[in-house]
Amino acid sequence: MDIRIHAPLDMHLHLREGALLRLVAPLSARDFAGAVIMPNLVPAVDTLERLATYRAEVEAATAPHTFAPLMTLFFRQYDEALLTAVRPHIIGVKLYPEGVTTNSADGVRDLQRIEPTLAVLERLGIPLLVHGESHGFVLDREAEFLRTYTRWANLFPRLTIVMEHITTAAAVRLLDEYANLAATVTLHHLLLTLDDVVGGLLSPHAFCKPIAKRPEDRAALLEAALHAHPRLMFGSDSAPHPVERKEAAGCAAGIFSAPVSLPLLAELFARHDALDQLQAFVSDNARTVYGITPPAKTVTLAERPWQVPARYGEVVPFYAGQTLAWQVVEVA
């Protein structure tokens, strides 16, 4: 059996820089027609110049694949002139509360003070992408942040607010309450719960932010994905770290899922008799939410086993060494 997906999109991707970017970017560019590229580098992508340089680096690493880097700007209290100038070059602005995840030390401290900037984004029609976690207890961080989403969804009804990498049933419910809220969900949050991180042996390669939650949370996310909720988009949050930063006394958060995303999604949707919803989940919903037209690219997946490599360079991928039921067999 095989399926064709038109212009699959990864709406949340970490490509890093330098050698690591050159290692991982081609793997995304092979399978996807485009991806939303996260700006939390050190230093962050927060100027027109830095944006242009980073885009050029991504394009160099992903050529000759057909692949559109959908660039984002690291949220700061930019003025209207800057945002107007940058608008043609970005898909949105990515907001990190200070210190909530990798390379977010420079994020927003006071969420209310930035609302004038959100008003400018709304006026200019620039989507706001948000890492929505509070600084509370690890299991409550997303739930606590839902208050902020609710406030902004009410205050800025024409601002598209994307709740990135949602992990809870409560976030799925919130999605239904406000037409200006959208969300991404990762592959790993459709597959894992906290049991996979700390339930048996401790598993650094299943450790990510936000942390995987309870079985009922995963069930709600999966239900929404399998039914291709129109404002839920696939975003891998694929986030490579060298193995020595994962298997260590202090293990960095992040799962490198880019090279296995489409095969595992096909397997998951097939297992739930939902393959007919996969096109919407990995492409069409994003086109509608963002109003974008990705480059023409058709990816064919076949139900044919392959073994995931133990490593890509110094990076251990999700499902390392395991045999997957589906693989990408043609890209046209």
Smallest CA-to-CA distance from 220 within 232, 208, 210, 205 is with 232
Residue 212 CB, shortest distance to its own copies, in Å, is 9
Nearer to its own copies, 141 or 297 (CB): 141
Nearer to its own copies, 105 or 179 (CB): 105
Binding its own copies (rule: CB under 8 A), the pick from 148, 180, 203, 288 is 203
Using rule CB under 8 A, residue 207 touches its own copies? yes
Using rule CB under 8 A, residue 215 touches its own copies? yes
What distances in angstroms separate CA 185 from CA 47, 108, 117, one per listed residue? Answer: 28, 23, 26
Nearer to its own copies, 85 or 248 (CB): 248
Using rule CB under 8 A, residue 305 touches its own copies? no
Phi, psi of 298 (to 5 degrees): -115, 125
Binding its own copies (rule: CB under 8 A), the pick from 52, 179, 202, 296 is 202
Using rule CB under 8 A, residue 131 touches its own copies? no
Residue 227 CB, shortest distance to its own copies, in Å, is 24
CA within 13 Å, CB half, 177: 13
Residue 332 CB, shortest distance to its own copies, in Å, is 37
What distances in angstroms separate CA 212 from CA 30, 198, 221, 266, one per listed residue? Answer: 28, 10, 11, 21
Tokens 């064919």: give the residue: 300
CA dist., res. 331 & res. 4, Å (int): 9
Using rule CB under 8 A, residue 195 touches its own copies? yes
Residue 218 CB, shortest distance to its own copies, in Å, is 10
Smallest CA-to-CA distance from 166 within 327, 3, 11 is with 11
Using rule CB under 8 A, residue 186 touches its own copies? no
Whether residue 64 has a cis bond before it, omega within 30° of 0: yes
Residue in 10, 237, 276, 284 annotated catalytic:
237
Binding its own copies (rule: CB under 8 A), the pick from 93, 211, 268, 289 is 211
Catalytic-residue membership of 273: no
**CB atoms inside a 10 Å sphere around CB 304:** 13
Is residue 79 classed exposed, middle or buried when 0-12, 13-18 and 19+ CB atoms within 10 A define those classes? exposed
Residue 53 CB, shortest distance to its own copies, in Å, is 29
Name the one range near its own copies by CB under 8 A: 41-49, 80-88, 207-215, 225-233. Answer: 207-215
Using rule CB under 8 A, residue 19 touches its own copies? no
Using rule CB under 8 A, residue 170 touches its own copies? no
- Gap between the terminal Cα atoms of the chain: 18
Residue 225 CB, shortest distance to its own copies, in Å, is 21
Using CB under 8 A as the binding rule, the residues of this chain from 53 to 72 that contact its own copies are: none
CB 249 within 8 A of CB 202: no
What distances in angstroms separate CA 294 from CA 53, 66, 288, one per listed residue? Answer: 22, 10, 11
Using rule CB under 8 A, residue 309 touches its own copies? no
Q: 93-117 b/e with 16+ CB inside 10 Å = b? A: bbbbbeebbbbbebbbeebeebeeb
Binding its own copies (rule: CB under 8 A), the pick from 30, 76, 123, 214 is 214
Binding its own copies (rule: CB under 8 A), the pick from 250, 273, 323, 332 is 250
CB 53 within 8 A of CB 70: no
Using rule CB under 8 A, residue 249 touches its own copies? yes
Q: Which residues bind its own copies (CB under 8 A)?
A: 137-139, 193-195, 197-205, 207, 211, 214-215, 246-253, 316
Annotated active-site positions, please? 237
